[in-house]
Structure 1
Amino acid sequence: MTKSFTTSPRRIALAAATAALATVTAALPAGAATLRQPAPAATPGVRERIDPAALQRSLGTPADGLFAGAMARVGGRDGRWTGTMGAVSTDPAASFPIGSITKLFTSTVVLQLVAEGRLSLDTPVQQLLPDTLPAHWQPVTVAQLISHTSGLPRAACWDPHAVYTPAGLVKTVTECPAAGEPVTGADIPQVYNGVNYFLLGMVIEKVTHRSYAQEVGRRIVRPLGLRHTYVPGWGETALRAPALAPQLPPTDPWPWAEGGMVSDAPDLEHFLGQLLRGRLLPPAQQALLFELPPHAERGFTRGGVQYAKLPDGTEVYGKSGSYGGHTNGVFATRDLRRSVVYSLVPLTTDDKEIAKRYLAIVDAAF
């Protein structure tokens, strides 16, 4: 699944590996409608019932030598199953750094602000955050940031040992010679880019005059009763107990609104279920969760949700993310017939092996 910050070569490589998760609809042909909406109705490939044995096998064993541990939680209308493997906690409330799953929280808050009339999807980020992007760059809208169609460059000259403010990290991208100019034009391709969500976090703070953590807390965490979900403070790297597994020292800049949150499996299952059910957004913004922009090769909707069609035709929605030594994902069918949350603790650096393991879990879950 996609890494939480997309500038390092390894994160880009693992992001590319996620294409194996699904056969996502290809780019639109010329003359096609500008929006596509995946069919919501059927979940044709979903197993009739949860298969605990298949799920446990999908986690692998310590003898594989590839993963220190793994956890998966499968839920939905057919019941619930939770399993673990290796050196991870069996406590259902065990927390882990969720990486880029954080982006779902960020896009939800932004869409709520749109619904409140505090900004619009067509508002240029240059208008909301003056002097943040170079003046000669083309306008980049809020909608483009959410759906990864901003065209902003990804390469950055950041120092992994430095502590950046969000604005400082964005500046390293915009001023980095290797980053180049943004991709512009009428038909910007969809390119997954963590910089988009640093900017969205900054937009949230500018519009609300509150911190990103405060807005996520009062708009999502507290209303949904997410007891083990939080935005760590600046420089806070140790997980609050209980933890699923030890967290590795961070090797990337503080990921904040792009990939810095911590949660657990029950909280993520509940959050995604309430998001897809319509609890957090009015109908106009809710519809964006299921609309794919043109050229959505990576399968991110206009609402920032990761969409995938599995080989058997099952359509799932959610997000993946990695940080602090954990590779995670939360996905569900649109009708919430079935959902899965997983977290892996890889020992291997072979992205193909990591992808093979989480694909096995997804296959067993749906």
Structure 2
Amino acid sequence: MKRTHVTAALLALAVLGTTAGTTGTAVAATRNHTVTQVQAQTQVPPINEAALNRAIADLPAPDATAAEVRVGGSAGSWHGVAGVRDLRAGRPAREGMRFRAGSVTKMFTTAVVLQLVAEGRVALDGTVQEYLPGLLPADYPAVTVGQVLNHTSGLPSPKLSNDFADVYATRFKAWTPEEYVALAVANPIEFTPGDWQHYLNVNTFVAGLLIEKVTGNSYEHEVTARILRPVGMRDSYLPGRSVRVRGPHNRAYQVVPEGFPGAIRYGDAHVVDMTETSVTSTWASGDLISTTADLEKFVNALFKGEIVPAAQLEPMFTVPDVKEYGTGRPAVYTSGMSRLELPGGIVAYGKTGARYGSATGVGATRDLSRTVVYSLNSTDAKAAGQNQRGLGVALAAFAR
């Protein structure tokens, strides 16, 4: 059974589509790019509802048990749901299910920091050492807030086991943000801040701690009061130390080897239920619980400048002029999102996220002619490689 995950390329294709006969895939930004104003977009193709329906009609399938997709924007809209809520009872999935949004959370954390910049309470060129004294080792160079937001800080990642057996055994462990950052910065800084880009959760942990220090309130309170409530995201929340998903939701499953403790049979494979799990290990980098409708509200409000004022919003559409650490490829991450280019000159911005059993994506053209939000109950959401199912879906769904 092929097991794959949704990539940034899939998100770009889902947002923007392609023309009939096109076989190429979405291309991540091949040059560093700073956006100074909303630019005219190449016209997006019409929504092919029949193709979208066909694309998710066979769920549940080996690679995913359920999916919900919302396509919107000024060029039209479409909603689709397929699959099952749980494998044991086989109840059908339905619209409005809550899910763990994973790294899409980073968009919210970044937006709150930029609100604080707009309020004059934080400066992007101010240092972590200034705002959070003692958090970083004394021998670390100065790291700015802006570098934390766009992942050019050089801060290292904690050395944690990636073996799923270890993850499963510790799935209810409660981390504090300070504990996570301390474990990370026990390692040497990776590079001189500002020289490279390395996308790591530690950056958004530091951003979350910055929010708490500057406001005097919890990270959860600030995101709720500043974004979730004003935008009307009534089905979204930050769970804190709770391991449960409140309200209606699909079960989240991770594929495992035969004989794995607690596994159930699923076709020719075996899975464990990862619906209940601690998200403190991702906190401000990945703990949001939401719905596709709520995330659609969010991306529209964000891109319109209703969450972060226009002047302070630009970092979310700006890729720093550096290379990716370890590969030498051009950087693609902005502050909180990724920038992606498609053949034909269409550009998309958005964010994907993955928790075990749940893959999520949010994105749009900057002029909001096309938006997309998807939730996929992937059976191997964190696996390396492209989601061939999703890539095929996008190519078919947006063909003329």
Normalising by the smaller structure, the TM-score range is: 0.7 to 0.9
Instruction: Quote the residue 1:9 is aligned against.
Output: none
Structure 1 CA distance, aligned partners of 2:201 and 2:134?
Answer: 20
Residue-by-residue CA offset, 1:246-282 (whole Å, 9 max, x unaligned)? 4534387532111001010111001011100111122
- Residues paired across the two proteins, number: 340
Which of 82, 93, 96 is residue 93 of structure 1 equivalent to? 96
Instruction: Quote the residue 1:44 is aligned against.
Output: 42
Which of 295, 308, 316 is residue 268 of structure 1 equivalent to? 295
Structure 2 CA distance, aligned partners of 1:212 and 1:147?
Answer: 19
Which of 18, 23, 30 is residue 27 of structure 2 equivalent to? 23
Q: Give the CA RMSD over aligned residues.
A: 2.7
Instruction: Quote the residue 1:319 is aligned against.
Output: 351
Deviation of 1:317 (Å): 1.2
Report if aligned partners of 2:112, 2:226 keep a CA contact under 8 Å in 1. yes
> Which structure shows the bigger proportion of residues in helix conformation?
1
In structure 2, the gaps of 5 or more residues are: 13-25, 86-91, 253-273, 324-329
Deviation of 1:300 (Å): 1.6
Residue 387 of structure 2 aligns to a residue whose secondary structure is: helix
Q: How does 1:37-186 map to 2 (within 5 A)?
A: 37=35, 40-44=38-42, 46-47=44-45, 49-59=46-56, 61-62=58-59, 64-88=61-85, 90-157=93-160, 160=167, 161=170, 162-175=173-186, 179-184=187-192
% same residue: 37
Structure 1 CA distance, aligned partners of 2:49 and 2:43?
Answer: 17
TM-score (norm 2): 0.77
AA in 2 matched with 1:240 = R
Deviation larger for 106-115 or 347-356: 347-356
Instruction: Quote the residue 1:245 is aligned against.
Output: 251
Q: 1:164 to 1:139 in 2, by over 3 A?
A: same
Report if aligned partners of 1:73, 1:82 keep a CA contact under 8 Å in 2. yes
Q: 1:195 to 1:54 in 2, by over 3 A?
A: same
Report if aligned partners of 2:68, 2:82 keep a CA contact under 8 Å in 1. yes
Q: Which has the larger radius of gyration?
A: 2
Structure 1 CA distance, aligned partners of 2:120 and 2:75?
Answer: 39
AA in 2 matched with 1:243 = H
Report if aligned partners of 2:158, 2:183 keep a CA contact under 8 Å in 1. no
Deviation larger for 190-199 or 353-362: 353-362
Structure 2 CA distance, aligned partners of 1:139 and 1:359?
Answer: 41
Deviation of 1:359 (Å): 3.0
In structure 1, the gaps of 5 or more residues are: 1-12, 29-34
TM-score (norm 1): 0.84
AA in 2 matched with 1:238 = R
Residue 342 of structure 1 aligns to a residue whose secondary structure is: strand
Instruction: Quote the residue 1:211 is aligned against.
Output: 218
